[in-house]
Amino acid sequence: MHRHYFSSIILLVCFSNCPLIAQENWPEFRGPSGNGQALGSKLPIEISESEHVDWKTPIHGKGWSSPVVWDDQVWLTTATIDGKQMSVICVDLETGKVLRDQVIHQNASPAFCHPTNSYASPTPAIEEGRVYLHFGSYGTTCLDIRTGKTIWQRTDLKCDHFRGPASSPILYENMLIVAFDGFDLQYVVALDKETGKTIWKTDREIDYGTDNGDLKKAYGTGSVFQVNGKPMLVYPSAMATIAYDVKTGEPIWTVYHDGMNASARPVIAENGLVIWTNGMGKMVAVKPTGTGDITESHLVWSLRQGVAKRPSQLVIGNRLYMISDKGIASCIDVENGNPIWQVRIGGEFAASPIFDGEKIFVFSESGDIHIFKPGDQFLRLGRSQLGDGFKASPAVVGNRMILRSFSHLYCISSE
C-alpha cells in the first residue's frame, strides 16, 4: 500500500481533535474513520438530478450494502432477490461505467432472508489492490481489484443468520474482522487479510437470558478505538456489547443493554465515552475502561426517546445527532444524554447520516434527502427528492457523494 497516510486512517478508528481534509478514499462502512464524517468535503445543499448528478448507473438485483471507493473505482455488492446469485459490481468513479459485474456465489437453496433485509447487506472493505466481499455465512472473498481474480475465499464460517446477514467487515493492520451473530452461533473472527486464515475466533460470552435464537442474532459492525493508548475492538451484539483485545480476541469488558438486532456502528466522543445503540431503540454511553461486566460501574447514561434502531449516529463536538427509523431527528448532549432538540421530519429511515464538515445529510427510504446544520437549534438547510429510496449509506470522496438507491448508483457533486 503506497498511500500510507490514508491507510493509517483506514486501519485504525481513533479519537482525534485534528480536522481531516476531504477524503480521497472511502474504504468501509461509514468511511475511513468509521463514523460517517467527510470533513472538508463540499457537497450541495440542494440535490437536483439535472444539475448535481454527474452520472447515474442502474444496479441489478437487491442489496443494501454501501458503496466503497478506492482511487477511481467504486465497489458494491448485490444479489438476486431469491439469493441464488450473489455478485460484486465495480463502477468507474469518473464516468459511472460498469467495469466489472461478477458472480461470487451460486446458492442452490439459500436460507430465508427477511424482506426488509437483503442477501447483499454487508458492506465490502477495500484497500490498495484488494477488495473484501462478505456475504455472511455464504462466504467471505478477497479479490484482486485489477484482475477480479480470487486471492482467497472462506465458506466454512457458519451460522444461521435466520433473517439474512448484515454485519460488515472492517480492516485493522493485518486483519479482516467480522461478527457472526446468528440464531445458533455467535462469534467474532479475525482473518489474515493476506491468506484468509483464521488469526483468532472468539465465541460471544453473553448471558442472553433466553434459548430463543431469534433474540440472539445481531447485524452490528465493530469499531477499533484507542483507549488509554491501546487499540480496543468494540463489537455490539444482541443483549450486550463486548470489547476485545483486537490483536488476540480476548474479551476485555462487557456491557449489558438488552435488545436484539444491533446494527449501528459504535462511535466515540471527545470526552472519551463510547456510544452505541441496540436494535430495539436504546442508546448507551460507556466509559471504555475496566474489565469484566462493567454495566453498573461504567454506564454513564442511557436513552430511549427517539433512538434509531438501524441508522448509525454522528458525534460532532459535544453533540450527538441521529435520525430514527420513524423520521425523528435529534441532537443529544453527549455529556449526559439529554436531548437538546428533537424534530419529526417524517419518513422511514435505514441509511446512516453523513457530515461534510458543515452539513448533516439524512436519506429516507422514499428518496427524500434532508440537510440540516449541526447546532443547538434545528436549522434545515435543504430538502431534495432523488431516485426511488435509500437503505444503503453513502460514500464521500473529495467533493463527490456516491449514493446507492434501491435501483441505481448516483455520483453527486456541487459542480
> pLDDT for 323-377, tens place per residue?
999 999 999 999 999 999 999 999 999 999 999 999 999 999 999 999 999 999 9
Instruction: Find out whether 388 and 405 touch, Cβ atoms under 8 Å.
Output: yes
User: What is the model's pLDDT at position 275?
Assistant: 97
Mean pLDDT across the chain: 93
Residue 290 pLDDT greater than 70, yes or no: yes
Which pLDDT belongs to residue 349? 97
CA-CA distance, 64 to 117, in Å (whole number)?
8
SS3 of residue 117 by DSSP: coil
| Cell numbers for 76 | 458494491
Extract the C-alpha cell encoding 130: 484488494
> Over the Cα atoms of the chain, what is R_g?
19
Are the C-beta atoms of 395 and 26 separated by less than 8 Å? yes
Q: Report the phi/psi class of residue 56: left, alpha or beta, with left for phi > 0 and alpha for psi in -120 to 50.
A: beta
Q: Could you give phi then psi for residue 79, rounded to 5 degrees?
A: -155, 160
> Taking a C-beta distance cutoff of 8 angstroms, is the pair 383, 369 a contact?
yes
Q: Is 267 exposed, middle or buried (0-12, 13-18, 19+ CB in 10 A)?
A: buried
The mean pLDDT of 264-280, rounded to a whole number, is 95
Spatial distance between the Cα atoms of 321 and 273, rounded to a whole number of angstroms: 15
Tell me: pLDDT of 86 over 80. Answer: yes
390-403: per-residue pLDDT in tens?
999 999 999 999 99
Burial class (CB in 10 A: 0-12, 13-18, 19+), 148: middle
Q: What is the mean pLDDT of residues 142-147?
A: 97
Three cell numbers written together for 129:
489492490
Please, which contacts does 4-13 make with residues 24 or more away whose CB atoms are closer than 8 Å?
Answer: 6/32, 7/127, 7/128, 9/33, 10/127, 10/171, 11/171, 11/172, 11/173, 12/172, 12/224, 12/226, 12/231, 13/223, 13/224, 13/225, 13/268
> Mean pLDDT across the stretch 161-183?
97
The answer to whether the CB of 330 falls within 8 A of the CB of 345 is no
What's the average model confidence in pLDDT over 144-173? 97
Euclidean distance between CA atoms 251 and 382, whole angstroms? 44
The pLDDT-based confidence of 9 (bands split at 50, 70, 90) is very low
pLDDT-derived band at 1 (thresholds 50, 70, 90) equals very low
Strand partners, 134: 140
Residue 319: all three cell numbers together: 453533540
Closest Cα partner for 103 from 117, 123, 83?
A: 83
N-to-C CA span, the chain: 31
What ranges do the domains of the chain cover?
A: 4-413
> With 50 as the cut, is the pLDDT of residue 18 above it?
no
**Strand pairing class (223-227; 230-236):** antiparallel
pLDDT at residue 119 is higher than 80: yes
| pLDDT value of position 261 | 86
- DSSP assignment string, 89-101: EEEETTT--EEEE
**What whole-number distance in Å separates Cα of residue 354 and Cα of residue 197?**
34
pLDDT above 60 (res 408):
yes
- Look up residue 64 and give its three cell numbers: 443494501
Residue range 87-99: mean pLDDT, rounded: 98
pLDDT at 4: 38
State the Cα–Cα distance between residues 331 and 4, nearest whole angstrom.
35
| 3-class DSSP state of 281 | coil
Alpha-carbon distance 331 to 302, whole Å? 14
| The pLDDT of residue 16 is above 80 | no
- Residue 125's H or E segment, with its range, is strand 125-127
Q: How confident is the model at residue 262 (pLDDT cuts 50, 70, 90)?
A: confident
Alpha-carbon distance of 193 to 129, in angstroms, equals: 12
Q: Report, at the CATH architecture level, how domain 4-413 is classified.
A: 7 Propeller (2.130)
Give the cell for residue 412.
453527486
